[in-house]
Amino acid sequence: MARKIVIKKHHKIGAGVIVGLTVVILILAFMVNHYWSPILAKKVRSVVLESSDSLYRADFSSAELHIIRGQIIFYDITLTPDTAVYNRRVKQHLAPNNLVSLHVKRLILDHIHPFSLYFKHKLNIGQIILSAPELDVSYQVNHTKDTVIKDHRTVWQKMSKSLRSIHIGQIFLNDVQLRYKDYSGNKVAISELKEMNLSASDLLIDSATQTDKSRLLYCKDIVTELTNYKGISPSGLYSYKINHLKLSTLTSQVNIEGLRLAPINKDKFFDKTNKDRFDVYLDSVQLNRFDYLGYHKYRTISTSCLFIKKGSFSLFNNPNKLNKPGIDKIKSFPQVALSQLTTDIRIDTLLLQHLNVAYSEYNNKSYQTGTISFNNTHGHFLNVTNNKAALLKNNICTAQLNTLFLNKGGFNVSFIFDLTAKDPAYSYKGSLGAMNLEDVNTATMPFAMVKITGGTLKHLDFDIHANSTINKGKLTLLYNNLKVKLLAPDTNMDGFKGKLIESLYANIFILKHDNPDRDGQTPRSFSINYVRPKDSPFFKTVWNTLLVGIKPSAGLDDKTIQATKAQLTEHQLNKQNRLKKRAERKLRRAEKKQQKELERAQKKGN
């Protein structure tokens, strides 16, 4: 009995001690929380102010310190720029290109060490979580390279009077609402993101990491993930979408899935602009060794390798230019288009895999749209750049492409572009393998109003040197049993009708059905000298240059065609004259016969 009483007393004493300790801890927690909040607020404000050279100010409405959990919760946090300081730096040419403002309703700091902060001046946090932060970023070009700043101190040197070090294990920004304004163009481009997550690991600012170039913004790794990003181009002509984007600064790699650029309204596109129409879909895009910091500061794109896998690229030549032949389409040339981009680009290697490319054009003579396609394209471009420093070292861009022409014939071509020539010089050479010539009708019928009814291509090779004015080179086309049918537009049937006599005449008297004409003979090769019309864009120029060599290979050169037309016209005129004379003879015979009959009738009457 006495033992039970003793046990009960021990239990009561133990319970009392626990309750007492709990009360003491709660009181201490309240006192510490009340004491630490203003100290912490003061530290945060001073660190932000000093590290940003008074450009940014940080504030929050209140903070809670939970000692047991090692947690601090901030409420209504704001990070705002001081516009007076910013405008002053703009005048001094020292303002950053990016200006940021941030609002977070709640910020959680886990696994903190307040005593280390107070006694050792070291801010050590295990994890920071920002839920649904609202981030506004504006971009304006104040400088294109790092400006000379009088204060060369690092961030650690600037904050060292207040803090010896800052270490944060992980930072999470979930469901970020980002509003981005770009003032670098003629119009303000505004983008809004609602499905973006950012995370950073091992942020460390101290004397050892202040000059560590392996870290970005003092973090070992920053990962950005973006889902379902949509928008409208500044011109209002295109919509764009990215299904998923991921950037890792540790690997310096960007991965994009499902990139789409499409005209908003295809039917009315050419009513609104004289520019050509593009439609792009890329299944996978990867940038290796991507300079994220350069892009963040100056919107420059620098990468060792841009890898595009699976997708399509189509170009529709604007028919409105036919009404304005004086407009020079030189901007469609790759090196010219690259040089006129406002974005600084430096791509060491551009790799393509499983890409379908198509060029379409409406022909006002045939009233039809023709398309040339290059399917399952593989290849690479080297030294794609408009960066001035890079061009001083190497001003040549080369390309090697392998594809299927009209998804039938194996086609390979190599390009060399001079990226600095005033009159954009380039050259290209390649070959096309065996294919059925009737498969080319999707291009020859709408473009040339010629239908190939028979024939086999054995081999085509070409070597062209060109600039914006003239294309010169050599072409050899080997084929057998070529037969054609000449066409005319049939507006009633929205198609074509055959020219029977002209086709028969062409196949008998004009067309060269084989090259070489006989086995063992030397094949015919043709020199090309094509003067580019100003309104001819790049793809059309390349196509027409090759046609200049292909047509005479088949006996369809302009001189022969004109001479044949003249002969055919003379033949038709002679035929018409013969028919006319025959009709006149018949008429005279009929008149004579009628006169004789009239004379007989008069004699009988007498």
- Nearest 5°: the CA angle 335, 337, 342 is 115
Note the pLDDT of residue 43.
66
pLDDT of 156 strictly over 70? yes
Contacts of 316 (CB under 8 A, 6+ apart): 276, 277, 278, 279, 360, 361
pLDDT of 560 strictly over 70? no
Range with lowest mean pLDDT among 25-39, 375-389, 473-487, 552-566:
25-39
Query: Stretch 295-319: mean pLDDT, rounded?
Result: 90
Q: In this predicted model, which residue has the larger pLDDT, 199 or 17?
A: 199
Cα distances (Å, whole numbers) of residue 39 to 50, 277, 347, 514: 16, 60, 50, 93
Note the pLDDT of residue 462.
96
Pairwise CA distance, residues 43 & 51, whole Å: 12
Note the pLDDT of residue 556.
63
The tens digit of pLDDT for each residue in 95-133 reads: 888 888 888 888 888 887 767 777 888 888 889 888 778
Cα distances (Å, whole numbers) of residue 359 to 320, 398, 442, 542, 559: 16, 21, 12, 11, 29
pLDDT of 85 strictly over 80? yes
Note the pLDDT of residue 7.
43
Contacts of 386 (CB under 8 A, 6+ apart): 338, 339, 341, 344, 345, 419
Q: In this predicted model, which residue has the larger pLDDT, 503 or 417?
A: 417
pLDDT of 163 strictly over 90? no
Cβ atoms within 10 A of the Cβ of 207, count? 12
Select from 285, 296, 193 the least CA-distant residue to 249: 296
Pairwise CA distance, residues 535 & 278, whole Å: 18
Q: How confident is the model at residue 476 (pLDDT cuts 50, 70, 90)?
A: very high
Contacts of 563 (CB under 8 A, 6+ apart): none
Note the pLDDT of residue 29.
45
Q: Tokens 């074509």 appear where?
A: 496
- Map residue 82 onto helix, strand or coil: coil
Query: Stretch 286-306: mean pLDDT, rounded?
Result: 90
Note the pLDDT of residue 25.
42
Strand partners of residue 171 = 128, 200
Note the pLDDT of residue 592.
74
Q: In this predicted model, which residue has the larger pLDDT, 217 or 433?
A: 433
The tens digit of pLDDT for each residue in 270-286 reads: 888 888 888 999 999 99
Q: How confident is the model at residue 15 (pLDDT cuts 50, 70, 90)?
A: very low
Select from 254, 132, 125 the least CA-distant residue to 202: 125
Mean pLDDT, rounded, of the chain = 80
Range with lowest mean pLDDT among 2-11, 62-71, 435-444:
2-11
pLDDT of 430 strictly over 90? yes
The tens digit of pLDDT for each residue in 310-361 reads: 999 998 888 875 555 567 888 889 999 999 998 899 999 999 999 999 988 8
Note the pLDDT of residue 487.
72
Select from 257, 299, 255, 262 the least CA-distant residue to 277: 262
Note the pLDDT of residue 107.
84
Q: In this predicted model, which residue has the larger pLDDT, 590 or 58?
A: 58
pLDDT of 12 strictly over 50? no
Note the pLDDT of residue 505.
55
The tens digit of pLDDT for each residue in 20-42 reads: 444 444 444 444 455 555 666 66
Pairwise CA distance, residues 40 & 44, whole Å: 6
Name, of 19-33, 457-471, 474-488, the range with top average pLDDT. Answer: 457-471
Cα distances (Å, whole numbers) of residue 579 to 575, 584, 585, 587: 6, 9, 10, 12
pLDDT of 162 strictly over 60? yes
Note the pLDDT of residue 361.
85
Pairwise CA distance, residues 55 & 205, whole Å: 20
Note the pLDDT of residue 309.
96
Distance of CA 603 to the CA centre of its chain: 99
Domain parsing of the chain, residue ranges: 40-148+155-196+203-213, 315-556
Note the pLDDT of residue 88.
87
Pairwise CA distance, residues 298 & 387, whole Å: 13
CB 419 within 8 A of CB 335: yes
